[in-house]
Amino acid sequence: MALYAQTSGDQSTNSGSFVPIPGLTLIIPEGAGISALVILNVPNPYARGNEYPGGTFGISVNGTVSPVTATFTYNELVPASTGRIPTTLVISVPLGIKPQTIMGMWFGVRNSTVYIDSPASLSAIIG
């Protein structure tokens, strides 16, 4: 079984800690002895800021963000232009005795603002 959610429209965050990415929420079913492979794909994010800007992405399970995260930053203190930095994060989530809520999460690194202006997705492959 595969589950899928996708963003639409332009989005941004300047949060300094994890907040949900609007539109990237899935409910995975209960199960015993199997896991879901959860994939957060953000193909064209960029960031703006004054101190090596960047973004961090995560996946939460029932409100707890996995310690496995994905981060991008620029190599210049204040980049002359904001190149796109494709970012993908993959984790395994054991199925529980009841359904679980999976959410794509993000925040700006060092007070930067992170932008998404093309579809990002959250997928779960169960089996």
Domains of the chain, CATH where assigned: 2-126 (2.60.120.760)
Q: Using a pLDDT cut of 70, give the percent of the chain over it.
A: 100
Q: How far apart are CA 45 and CA 30, in angstroms?
A: 32
Mean pLDDT of 57-75: 97
pLDDT tens per residue across span 89-117: 999 999 999 999 999 999 999 999 999 99
Tell me: pLDDT of 127 over 90.
no
DSSP class of residue 50 equals: S
